[in-house]
Chain A
Amino acid sequence: MRYKAGDPLPGLVKEPVARVQLVRYAGASGDFNPIHFDDEAARSRGLGGVIAHGMLSMGFLGQFVEAAFGPGATRKLEVNFRGMVKLGDVVTCRGRVTEVREAGGRSLAVCEVEAVNPEGAVVTQGVAEAWMG
């Protein structure tokens, strides 16, 4: 895929986050922190209920970047976790190319990326670098 600086990337709207997804992600990632599947454990730590793994929202952004640029194109993905994703939330990923750089004879797109919750708040935000060809 070829993009130039300023181009938006095709958006990605995920399915609502379900508890079974968090259980699957716990198993697949090895992060068994109970705040991600046990409401009681989450409440005892001051949360309203279970929250998604931050890494799941980063995984959504990884899906978004590789859908835009192709599998294996990601050179770098770095994010800050700014908010929590709750059960039932529909997460939307969006971003745009901020710069295209030449590196070792290849074109590298630098992108701003973010994952947004149903209220429009940015929950996970960062920078991706992806190879174009």
Chain B
Amino acid sequence: MPGRITPEIAALKGRRHGPYRVTVEAGAIRRFADAIGDPSPAYRGENPLAPPTFPTTFRPEGPYPDVPADFGDVGLHASQAYEFERPLRAGDVLDVSFTVTDVYEKSGRSGDLVFIERAYEFLDAGTGARVGGGRWVSLRRFNPEGWPVD
């Protein structure tokens, strides 16, 4: 095993962040659809739906309470999932939380890799009903040989 996981990183497992409150706003949806280059009128106007990857905007205020920025040489995204009980739309007020569900490492072709998995939950702030959730797996790469690697 590469041995890159420090006690501080190992201690992230099981940690829960939030809930923090997020209001889904029409302007934010429109700018998000614009950035993707998605022309659908469903994401525009006064009462738009949110595109399925919109929850990536559900960030806590301030720095991300997670892996330190200087851990590893580069942070990359391994996988991402969202699922919905119903479509999100402007006006939704959600309580968002996430839990670090796993921390593990692998030795790869391009160096040592540390993976961090998180599970998300989106609850309706008014009723407490579950609206959706997600899974986010990021990785930090360590390359002892120096750059470039590929």
Minimum CB–CB distance from B138 to chain A (whole Å) comes to: 10
C-alpha spacing A65/B78, complex, angstroms: 21
Inter-chain contacts of B83 with A (CB < 8 A): 75-78, 129
Asked if B34 is at the interface (CB within 8 A of a chain A CB), the reply is: yes
Please judge, given known A-B contacts A28-B34, A72-B49, A81-B76, whether A66 and B40 are in contact too, CB under 8 Å: yes
Does residue B73 face the partner (Cβ distance < 8 Å to A)? Answer: yes
Our count of residue pairs bridging A and B at CB distance below 8 angstroms stands at 117
Chain A nearest CB, measured from B22 CB (Å)? 11
Which stretch from A3-11, A29-37, A94-102, A114-122 is at the chain B interface? A29-37
In chain A, what residue has the closest Cβ to B143? A46
Nearest B residue to A31, CB-CB? B56
Contacts of B84 in A (CB 8 A): 74-76
**C-alpha gap A28/B43 in the complex (Å):** 14
Chain B 6-61 interface residues, beta-carbon cutoff 8 Å to A: 28, 31-32, 34-38, 40, 42-43, 49, 51-53, 56-57, 59
* Nearest residue, chain B, Cβ from A76: B83
From A25, A33, A47, A126, contact of B36 by CB (8 A) = A25
A14 beta carbon closer than 8 Å to chain B: yes
Residue B129 at the chain A interface, CB threshold 8 Å: no
B74 and A24 contact, CB distance less than 8 A: no
Chain A, range 50-77, C-beta contacts under 8 Å to B: 53-56, 58-60, 62-63, 65-67, 71-77
Q: Say whether A45 faces chain B, with CB atoms less than 8 Å apart.
A: yes
Residues of A within 8 A of B38 (CB): 59, 62-63, 66
Which chain A residues have a beta carbon within 8 Å of chain B's beta carbons?
14-15, 21, 24-25, 27-31, 33, 35, 45-48, 53-56, 58-60, 62-63, 65-67, 71-81, 126, 129
The contact sample of 21 A-B pairs, CB cut-off 8 A, is A15-B37, A25-B35, A29-B32, A29-B56, A30-B57, A30-B59, A45-B74, A53-B77, A58-B53, A59-B51, A63-B37, A65-B52, A66-B42, A67-B40, A72-B89, A73-B87, A74-B84, A76-B81, A76-B82, A81-B77, A129-B83
**Could you list 10 further interchain pairs (A-B, Cβ under 8 angstroms) beyond the known A29-B32, A71-B87?**
A28-B34, A28-B57, A30-B57, A59-B32, A63-B38, A66-B38, A66-B52, A71-B43, A72-B49, A74-B87
